[in-house]
Amino acid sequence: MVTNNFPKDFIFGAATASLQIEGGDRNNSWYDWCEAGKIPNGDHCIEANQHWERVEEDINLMKGLHLNGYRFSIEWPRIQPTKDSWDKAAILHYRDEIIQLKQAGIEPMLTLHHFSNPSWFEQQNAWIDKESISLFLAYTEYVVKHLGDLVSHWVTINEPNVYLMMGYFVGIFPPGKEGDIKSYLKGAKHMISAHCQAYTLIHKLQNDIGKKDTQVGAALHLRVFDTYKDKWLSKISQKICYFLFQDLFFNGMLHGKWFGRTLHRGQFFDYLGINYYSRDILKPNIKAFPIFADLTKPADCKVNDLDWEIYPEGLARLIKMYYQKCKLPIHITENGMADSQDKQRKKYIHDHLRAILSCIAEGIPVKGYFHWTLIDNFEWMEGYEARFGLYAHDLETQKRSLRESGKYYAEICKSKRLLPLDS
């Protein structure tokens, strides 16, 4: 039976990414991208939310929401400013942030890679270069040795499918290549291998210090791909999309597989992290290589500010689909919507949490929900125009203001109960 009550140990959190909120760093691929004028509206990531200087203030925002979890990334370019150097002050900054979180009763979920690369790493072809694997492992080892005593939940890589699709096929993320399927696949193989080896390394390093509660996973962007009028070509496109965009990464990162071949033996998830936002309807287009379809949406559907369909049923569909494939605990590592007027976010939160409760009622161990995002921030190619935050943000004054939807989410976090929309 579906109830409104969440399990007592359920994690209610928010999610952010270092590049999007910290500001101030000039040694990364997205700073270089902004400097080259690649953001359509001319926005720049250099200022962002000044979170680097405002950690204490922003943790107080989290306390105001009654969060007991926070998923955030650390910025590789800050930790390793050159290929041969490490910045001890930067790692100590993150250590202090984690200590403050834990003192506030907020459990950290730490992401090692969330889209942004050190400039030196980007200049040597980033994840397309095979050396990327050993470089990521060295970075992982440094971070875990300095922070591992404080952190139990780890995300190795955020949305490798989106990172590669946007950077090497669509061409709107660094390095801006279009239709480069060869680089997409090469990068996928390297990121899969890096995850599998990082999983093993993190567990070894944690075991060496006697830490037994370590949980390692990845945050995969999963979408629902539905067919258009049951056309045969749509069904072919559906299989291609599920494989190339997500199952290639899911199977690779879970089991170390690559097109049926074993790269690494074992299981490399302790939990599955799902980032969910929307679905696509596949309308046949034989010229649209390699999926042979255009991505569309129902004509009468509700959409967010970015014209993405609002489809909460899709979250339940994906949870059930991928739980059957892995039988592992699940965290919803991202879920949210761009809504500058805050007219739809409250219902969006309600309906997606309702979808999670329906899965829990069926016995699926959904362990946590991390809303995207804590505060309006630099949203990649949309700059500051896409407003996803529970807190509104004024770029000029750096003022944070809690939205009505944020107040609603705070009451849910406090009570661990799904509240009616009129509350």
Distance from C-alpha of 206 to C-alpha of 186, rounded to nearest angstrom = 30
Residue 358's pLDDT is 98
- Return the bridge partners of 224, or none: 279
Segment 282-301, tens digit of pLDDT: 999 999 999 999 999 999 99
The per-residue pLDDT for range 60-84, each reduced to its tens digit, is: 999 999 999 999 999 999 999 999 9
What mean pLDDT is predicted for residues 73-96? 98
Confidence of residue 230 (pLDDT cuts 50, 70, 90): confident
d(CA 94, CA 146): 10
Q: Which residue has the higher pLDDT, 423 or 62?
A: 62
**Band (317; pLDDT cuts 50, 70, 90):** very high
CA distance 305 to 385: 9
Whether residue 333 is preceded by a cis peptide bond, meaning omega within 30 degrees of 0, is: no
Q: What span, in angstroms and rounded, lies between the C-alpha atoms of 283 and 278? A: 16
Give me the mean pLDDT over the 94-121 stretch: 98
For residues 168 and 176, give the distance between their C-alpha atoms in angstroms, rounded to a whole number.
6
Q: What percent of the chain has pLDDT over 70?
A: 100
Structure confidence at residue 182 (pLDDT) = 97
Alpha-carbon distance 156 to 397, whole Å?
Answer: 34
Is the pLDDT reported for residue 419 higher than 80?
Answer: yes
Taking alpha carbons only, the member of 380, 416, 2 closest to residue 167 is: 380
Residue 9, pLDDT > 90, answer yes
Provide the b/e sequence for 153-168 (b: ≥16 CB within 10 Å).
Answer: bbbbbbbbbbbbbbbb
φ, ψ (nearest 5 deg) of residue 326: -125, -25
Does pLDDT of 163 surpass 90? Answer: yes
With vertex at residue 167, the alpha carbon angle to CA 128 and CA 162, rounded to the nearest 5 degrees, is: 100
Distance of alpha carbon 251 from alpha carbon 158, whole angstroms: 16
What value does the CA radius of gyration of the chain take, rounded to a whole number of Å?
20
Closest to 316 in 3D by CA, of 336, 302, 330: 330
Q: What is the pLDDT of residues 123-153, one digit of tens each?
A: 999 999 999 999 999 999 999 999 999 999 9
For residue 310, pLDDT beyond 90: yes
Residue 233 to residue 298: CA distance in whole angstroms: 18
* Six-digit token string for 274: 């799902």
Positive or negative CA dihedral for 363, 365, 370, 372? negative
Residue 423 has pLDDT above 80, yes or no: no
Q: How far apart are CA 91 and CA 100, in angstroms?
A: 14
What average pLDDT does the segment 92-100 reach?
98
Give the pLDDT score at 229: 86
All structural domains of the chain with their residue ranges: 11-415
pLDDT of residue 151: 98
Q: What is the mean pLDDT of the chain?
A: 97
Could you give phi then psi for residue 36, rounded to 5 degrees?
Answer: -80, 0
- What value does the mean pLDDT take over residues 30-40? 98
Residues 6+ apart with CB under 8 A from 49: 20, 21, 22, 23, 58, 375, 376, 377, 393, 398
Whether the pLDDT of residue 354 is over 90: the answer is yes
| pLDDT at 311 exceeding the cut of 70 | yes
Q: Which two tokens stand for residue 372?
A: 């995207």
CATH number, domain 11-415? 3.20.20.80
Tell me what the mean pLDDT of segment 88-96 comes to. 98
Question: What average pLDDT does this structure show over 360-380?
Answer: 98
The answer to whether 293 and 237 are in contact (CB under 8 A) is: yes
pLDDT of residue 117: 98
pLDDT of residue 422: 84
Residue 217 has pLDDT above 70, yes or no: yes
Distances (CA, A) of 167 to 44, 126, 179: 18, 11, 10
Q: What is the pLDDT of residue 368?
A: 98
For 157, the token pair is 């890589």
Tokens encoding 111: 């992401």
